[in-house]
């Protein structure tokens, strides 16, 4: 009894102290977890910003030279342990061999002890009409940092390929769903159409389900109502400027036919001496051109006849006597 | 005993010390925890706010090459502006939608009005991008708080070199040139043209002419023109695949033509600048080259026309598509493309001949662009401020005539079209040459229905010729009566063509001209080829007009020489004279019809 009474206060104080101590530790732990959470969030954002910044630098470097002289042409470029904005990163830029003008940028960031891998597949836009854009992103994503290693190249590329293929496969269906939902008047109707409610749940339980959807605001841009000249008409004009014969390729030789209503001269050279004649309607071989003359072979005679009198596939002869150019030898 | 019943003073004192110590630790922890929690909350909010700023910069620079400038972070020259601002009450562009106001977000407002400052330092990096430090600073109860986000953003410099799929292969160019232009084989260009300057002109002409030939050879490309027009003529909804397909084709036509024209720009410049260097070439080669220079000049002018028509079509169709699109993502894409199309039209207003069927091209282009910018500014003011700012910035560029400075392709296109206009003015007018006479018509009563036959037959009626052409209207021949063809000009030309040209079967020369005109066969330049049927106007003294034939020859001044019948008022018989002499006798020149076109 004596022991009991004299030892009562210490266990009490000990218990109180321990309780307060544990409470304080829990509080510190919570606070630390809060701090870690915030740090993690900031680090994630920081890692993304860092990777984006590196990608911007890659694009800046790409701009400095033309595509044919790009810095990663022929072989992947690796840059390891680079420092930027308080973090470090590893970079890999390489051509994506399967598709022209396409390249992959892999950036592995390290912020504190956390590693992240960001992957951009980008397409260079070589044409001049898209003059406000150098590249566009085909795919972007975050992947397991271990996939950065050169040995894992095919693995990560395949993951991206599959992702793009899925997107392409689903595009039609997604467009159809979006189209089907476009005219549904209420949220409830959309949920019903999507069959998104679990069995036994009524849509009336959803707040605001019967409220009418506001109509989508319409942009007031308009097509031009000016009468325009047809582009095909101008193409026809262009076609008349360039001789159709210049759109032909004479390699290998083509069959031709004399369309002259009398014997057509075979000359030694354009406007040159006469080597022989081709009778009207006779077939010959056409092997090339010199000026306005076809190089022809008829009956063993090789020489030149004017294109106005020889029909070849793709070339309709004018069938008019051609003018002799100034400076050409006089007629014989 | 009493003493044993209670606690000793020492026990109580020790107990109180322990408890007090623990309590002090506890209270301090609580206080520290509260402050840190507050700090972390503020820090967290600052990081979220900074992320929003960074995200705004992403959005802005994604659609706008000058996004960092539009946000007010740098000035026109790209130099950093001091950006230090509170974030409440819409004091900064980054927190305008929605604004942080006391009424709408009282809790946030109290927090942010407490010295919460956004500070952005921009720095133009050595490479063409900006480095931004987005910082939020605030006065925390634990002291000053500051949060930094560093990030790079793209700058405005984009330059590409034109590449065209239609470019004629350099390896084949010289051989092709030697054979096609200069009628030679197995010779080097240097052996044909000794002047290096003239050689360069020939090579440039070849690049232009054969690259355009390559374009026309690409049937997929040329057939897409008709496909686009067919789709555009059908009643497809603007959000339909077919409507989009037609727009895409117009865009692709513009893209491919622009790439080709810009690839050819240095060649056009060279030919235009150095054309006189070919004067030292021999007559035959010089004339041949002039023919192809002329064709090349017309060809690039047609490319200009095709490009501008397609760009205008695409711009118009993108506007229509934007209207029916409810996805902001696709709207942003179309806005970007549409603005580029409009920019190109804006810098081409002086070169829009043959683009619109009627109306003033400059007014049409300006009005349509202004209307588009107005609409974008108003519509996106509360939906996507980056588009609103882009439209406002664009308006400023237009007002200050800065499109060419800001977008290098706009500048290139302006220079290109100015060059094409000048080239077109300076095109040579080569002598087309004269066909060999067709001796089968000599001594015959009429020609044989061909152009060369008409010229040979008409020349046979000159003094010294057989003069056996028969005027069936009066039964006379010039060998018997020098006045046989007097006042029978239409009959003379009709007989030269053996009465095989339908438009010559009329009662008067002017009626024949009108028939040719209706058939779209009249040309008005003064370089008629041999056998061309030519006209002068009807006058009060000669209400029938006059008709005669081009010989294809020119005098030393390059004036065309024609062959004509006489009249009671001028001379008897048949004569050759220059076109100007003809005009002096008969009145204004109306034009000619090409023999190849008039023949059946």
Q: Tell me the mean pLDDT in the region A232-261.
A: 89
Q: Tell me the mean pLDDT in the region B438-447.
A: 94
Contacts of B287 in chain A (CB under 8 A): 325-327
Q: What pLDDT score does B596 carry?
A: 57
Based on the domain organization, do B135 and B185 belong to the same domain? no
Based on the domain organization, do B223 and B351 belong to the same domain? yes
Spatial contact of A259 and A312, defined as CB atoms under 8 Å apart:
no
Based on the domain organization, do B179 and B123 belong to the same domain? no
Per-residue model confidence as pLDDT tens digits over B305-356: 999 999 999 999 999 998 888 788 888 989 999 999 999 999 999 999 999 9
* Å between A91 CA and nearest CA of chain B: 16
Based on the domain organization, do B220 and B324 belong to the same domain? yes
Contact A17 B65 (CB under 8 A): no
Percentage, residues of chain B above pLDDT 90: 60
Q: Name which of A20, A31, A323 is nearest B22 (Cβ-Cβ).
A: A20
Q: Facing residues of B154 across strands?
A: B129
| Burial environment of residue B62 by CB neighbours within 10 A (0 to 12, 13 to 18, 19 or more) | middle
Q: Facing residues of B427 across strands?
A: none
Domains in chain A with CATH codes:
48-178 (3.30.1300), 244-312 (2.30.30.40)
Contacts of B328 in chain A (CB under 8 A): none
Per-residue model confidence as pLDDT tens digits over B209-223: 999 999 999 999 999
A271 φψ region: left (φ > 0), alpha (ψ -120 to 50), beta (else): left
Per-residue model confidence as pLDDT tens digits over A193-221: 888 888 878 878 888 888 888 777 788 88
Contact A291 B288 (CB under 8 A): yes
Q: Determine contact: B375 vs chain A, CB below 8 A.
A: yes
Q: What pLDDT score does A108 carry?
A: 97
Q: Does residue B430 lie within any of the structural domains? A: no
Cα separation of B211 and B122, whole Å? 46
Spatial contact of A31 and A68, defined as CB atoms under 8 Å apart:
no
B312's tokens: 């205008």
Length of chain A: 332
Which of B127-136, B160-169, B264-273, B516-525 has the lowest average pLDDT?
Answer: B127-136
A289's tokens: 């051109």
Contact A235 B288 (CB under 8 A): no
Q: What pLDDT score does B319 carry?
A: 92
Does the pLDDT of residue A35 top 80, yes or no?
no
| End position of a domain, from candidates B124, B154, B184 | B154
Going by C-alpha positions, the residue among A146, A118, A9 that lies closest to residue A53 is: A118
Q: What pLDDT score does A332 carry?
A: 65
Q: Does residue B159 lie within any of the structural domains? A: no
Q: Determine contact: B329 vs chain A, CB below 8 A.
A: no
Q: What pLDDT score does A2 carry?
A: 47
What band does B1 get if pLDDT is binned at 50, 70 and 90?
very low
Based on the domain organization, do B137 and B255 belong to the same domain? no
Q: Tell me the mean pLDDT in the region B189-208.
A: 96
Q: What pLDDT score does B114 carry?
A: 67
Spatial contact of A13 and B18, defined as CB atoms under 8 Å apart:
yes
B323's tokens: 């209207």
Per-residue model confidence as pLDDT tens digits over A126-174: 889 988 888 899 999 999 999 999 999 999 999 999 999 999 999 889 8
ipTM given for this complex: 0.82
Based on the domain organization, do B138 and B175 belong to the same domain? no
Going by C-alpha positions, the residue among A174, A164, A176, A137 that lies closest to residue A59 is: A137
Give, for B86, the enclosing helix (H) or strand (E).
strand B83-86
Q: Tell me the mean pLDDT in the region A34-46.
A: 77
Based on the domain organization, do B111 and B195 belong to the same domain? no
Nearest residue in chain B measured CA to CA from A245: B213
The set of residues, in sequence order, having a beta carbon less than 8 Å from that of B348 and lying 6+ positions away, is B308, B365, B413, B414, B417
Nearest residue in chain B measured CA to CA from A137: B62
Cα separation of B177 and B184, whole Å? 9
Distance set, CA B74 to CA A109, B78, B394 (Å): 29, 5, 16
Q: Tell me the mean pLDDT in the region B294-308.
A: 97
Per-residue model confidence as pLDDT tens digits over B346-394: 999 999 999 999 889 999 999 999 999 999 999 998 888 899 999 999 9
Based on the domain organization, do B175 and B149 belong to the same domain? no
In CATH, what number is assigned to the domain containing residue B476? 3.90.1720
Range of the domain at B122: 35-154
Contact B450 A217 (CB under 8 A): no
Q: Does residue B486 lie within any of the structural domains? A: yes
| End position of a domain, from candidates B425, B447, B479 | B425
Phi, psi values for residue B144, rounded to 5°: -75, 135
Q: Give the other-Cβ count within 10 Å of A258's Cβ.
A: 24
Based on the domain organization, do B262 and B332 belong to the same domain? yes
Q: Domain total for chain B?
A: 3
Contact B379 A220 (CB under 8 A): yes
Helix (H, G, I), strand (E, B) or coil at B150: strand
* Å between B551 CA and nearest CA of chain A: 11
- Who has greater pLDDT, B529 or A304? A304
Which of B66-75, B172-181, B275-284, B471-480 has the lowest average pLDDT?
Answer: B66-75
Q: What pLDDT score does B370 carry?
A: 94
Based on the domain organization, do B209 and B125 belong to the same domain? no
Q: Determine contact: B232 vs chain A, CB below 8 A.
A: no
- Choose the mutation target among B16, B149, B216 for the interface with A, i.e. most A CBs under 10 Å: B216
Nearest residue in chain A measured CA to CA from B381: A219
Which of A13-17, B80-84, B287-291, B593-597 has the lowest average pLDDT?
Answer: B593-597
Long-range CB contacts (within 8 A, 24+) of A252-256: A253/A285, A253/A286, A253/A287, A253/A288, A253/A297, A254/A285, A254/A286, A254/A312, A254/A313, A255/A283, A255/A284, A255/A285, A255/A286, A255/A312, A255/A313, A256/A283, A256/A284, A256/A285, A256/A286, A256/A294, A256/A296, A256/A310, A256/A311, A256/A312
What band does B572 get if pLDDT is binned at 50, 70 and 90?
very high
Does the pLDDT of residue B592 top 70, yes or no?
yes
Q: Does residue B177 lie within any of the structural domains? A: yes
Contacts of B150 in chain A (CB under 8 A): 49-50, 53, 84-86
Contact B160 A9 (CB under 8 A): no
Q: Tell me the mean pLDDT in the region A4-10.
A: 62
Give pTM, 2 decimals: 0.83
Q: Does residue B433 lie within any of the structural domains? A: no
Contact A323 B434 (CB under 8 A): yes
Q: What pLDDT score does A1 carry?
A: 45
- Choose the mutation target among B2, B32, B158 for the interface with A, i.e. most A CBs under 10 Å: B158
Q: Does residue B14 lie within any of the structural domains? A: no
* Å between A209 CA and nearest CA of chain B: 22
What band does B595 get if pLDDT is binned at 50, 70 and 90?
low
Spatial contact of A42 and A64, defined as CB atoms under 8 Å apart:
no
Q: What pLDDT score does B46 carry?
A: 80
Q: Which of A93-107, B132-146, B552-566 has the highest mean pLDDT?
A: A93-107
Q: Does residue B540 lie within any of the structural domains? A: yes
Q: Does residue B26 lie within any of the structural domains? A: no
| Burial environment of residue B597 by CB neighbours within 10 A (0 to 12, 13 to 18, 19 or more) | middle
Mean pLDDT of chain B: 89
- Who has greater pLDDT, B555 or B585? B585
A34's tokens: 């809060």
* Å between A298 CA and nearest CA of chain B: 19
Question: Which B residues in the span 73-112 are in contact with A, Cβ-Cβ below 8 Å?
Answer: none
Cα separation of A112 and A132, whole Å? 37
Based on the domain organization, do B390 and B288 belong to the same domain? yes
Phi, psi values for residue B136, rounded to 5°: -115, 130
Based on the domain organization, do B225 and B304 belong to the same domain? yes
């Amino acid at each position: 009894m004596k022991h009991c009474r004299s030892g009562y206060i210490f266990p009490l104080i000990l218990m109180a102290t321990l309780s307060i101590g544990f409470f304080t530790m829990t509080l510190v732990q919570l606070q630390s977890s809060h701090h870690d959470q915030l740090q993690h969030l900031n680090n994630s954002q920081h890692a993304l910003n860092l990777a984006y910044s590196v990608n911007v630098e890659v694009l800046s470097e790409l701009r400095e030279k033309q595509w044919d002289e790009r810095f990663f042409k022929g072989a992947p470029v690796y840059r390891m342990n680079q420092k930027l904005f308080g973090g470090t990163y590893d970079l890999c830029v390489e051509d994506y061999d399967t598709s022209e003008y396409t390249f992959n940028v892999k950036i592995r960031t390290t912020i504190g002890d956390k590693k992240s891998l960001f992957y951009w597949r980008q397409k260079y836009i070589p044409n001049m009409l898209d003059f406000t854009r150098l590249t566009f992103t085909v795919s972007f994503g975050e992947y397991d940092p271990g996939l950065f290693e050169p040995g894992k190249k095919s693995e990560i590329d395949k993951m991206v390929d599959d992702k793009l293929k899925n997107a392409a496969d689903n595009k039609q269906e997604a467009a159809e769903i979006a189209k089907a939902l476009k005219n549904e008047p209420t949220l409830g109707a959309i949920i019903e159409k999507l069959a998104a409610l679990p069995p036994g749940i009524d849509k009336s339980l959803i707040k605001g389900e019967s409220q009418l959807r506001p109509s989508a605001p319409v942009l007031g841009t308009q097509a031009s109502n000016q009468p325009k000249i047809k582009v095909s008409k101008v193409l026809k004009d262009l076609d008349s400027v360039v001789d159709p014969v210049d759109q032909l390729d004479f390699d290998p030789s083509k069959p031709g036919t004399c369309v002259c209503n009398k014997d057509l001269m075979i000359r030694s050279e354009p406007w040159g001496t006469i080597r022989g004649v081709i009778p009207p309607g006779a077939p010959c071989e056409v092997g090339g051109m010199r000026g306005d003359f076809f190089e022809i072979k008829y009956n063993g005679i090789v020489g030149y006849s004017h294109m106005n009198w020889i029909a070849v596939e793709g070339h309709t002869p004018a069938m008019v006597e051609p003018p002799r150019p100034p400076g050409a030898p006089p007629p014989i | 005993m009493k003493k044993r019943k209670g606690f000793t003073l020492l026990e109580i004192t020790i107990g109180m010390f322990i408890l007090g110590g623990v309590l002090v630790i506890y209270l301090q922890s609580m206080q520290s925890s509260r402050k840190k929690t507050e700090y972390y909350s503020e820090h967290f909010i600052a990081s979220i706010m900074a992320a929003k700023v960074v995200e705004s910069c992403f959005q802005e620079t994604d659609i706008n090459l000058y996004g960092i400038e539009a946000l007010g972070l740098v000035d026109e020259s790209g130099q950093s502006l001091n950006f230090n601002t509170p974030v409440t009450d819409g004091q900064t562009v980054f927190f305008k939608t929605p604004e942080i106001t006391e009424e709408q977000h009282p809790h946030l407002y109290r927090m942010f009005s407490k010295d919460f400052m956004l500070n952005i330092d921009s720095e133009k990096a050595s490479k063409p991008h900006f480095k931004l430090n987005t910082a939020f600073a605030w006065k925390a109860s634990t002291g000053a708080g500051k949060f930094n986000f560093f990030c790079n953003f793209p700058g405005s410099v984009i330059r590409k070199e034109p590449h065209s799929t239609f470019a004629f292969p350099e390896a084949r160019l010289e051989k092709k040139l030697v054979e096609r232009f200069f009628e030679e084989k197995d010779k080097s260009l240097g052996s044909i043209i000794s002047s290096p300057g003239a050689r360069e002109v020939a090579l440039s002409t070849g690049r232009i002419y054969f690259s355009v030939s390559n374009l026309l050879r690409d049937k997929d490309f040329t057939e897409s023109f008709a496909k686009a027009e067919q789709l555009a003529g059908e009643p497809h909804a603007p959000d339909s695949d077919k409507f989009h397909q037609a727009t895409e084709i117009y865009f692709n036509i513009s893209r491919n033509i622009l790439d080709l024209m810009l690839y050819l720009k240095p060649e056009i410049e060279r030919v235009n600048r150095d054309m006189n260097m070919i004067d030292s070439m021999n007559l035959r080669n010089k004339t041949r080259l002039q023919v192809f220079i002329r064709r090349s000049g017309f060809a690039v002018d047609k490319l200009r026309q095709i490009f501008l028509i397609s760009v205008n079509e695409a711009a118009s169709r993108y506007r229509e598509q934007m209207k029916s699109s409810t996805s902001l993502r696709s709207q942003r894409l179309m806005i970007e493309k549409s603005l580029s199309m409009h920019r190109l039209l804006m810098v081409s207003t002086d070169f829009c001949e043959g683009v619109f069927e009627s109306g003033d091209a400059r007014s049409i282009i300006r009005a349509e662009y202004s209307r588009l910018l107005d609409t974008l500014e108003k519509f996106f003011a509360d939906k996507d401020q980056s588009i609103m700012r882009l439209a406002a910035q664009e308006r400023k560029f237009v007002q200050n005539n800065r499109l060419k400075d800001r977008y290098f392709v706009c500048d290139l296109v302006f220079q290109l079209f100015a060059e094409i206009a000048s080239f077109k003015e300076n095109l040579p007018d080569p002598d087309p040459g004269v066909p060999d006479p067709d001796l089968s018509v000599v001594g015959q009563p009429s020609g044989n229905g061909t152009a060369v036959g008409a010229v040979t037959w008409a020349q046979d009626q000159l003094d010294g010729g057989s003069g056996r052409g028969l005027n069936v209207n009066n039964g006379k021949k010039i060998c018997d009566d020098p006045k046989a063809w007097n006042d029978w000009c239409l009959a003379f030309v009709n007989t030269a063509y053996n009465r095989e040209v339908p438009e010559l079967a009329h009662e008067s020369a002017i009626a024949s001209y009108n028939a040719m005109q209706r058939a779209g066969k009249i040309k008005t330049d003064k370089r008629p080829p041999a056998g061309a049927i030519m006209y002068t106007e009807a006058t009060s003294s000669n209400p029938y007009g006059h008709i005669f034939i081009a010989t294809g020859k020119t005098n030393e001044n390059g004036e065309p020489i024609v062959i004509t019948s006489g009249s009671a008022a001028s001379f008897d018989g048949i004569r050759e004279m220059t076109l100007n002499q003809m005009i002096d006798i008969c009145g204004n020149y109306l034009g000619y019809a090409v023999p190849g076109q008039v023949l059946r």
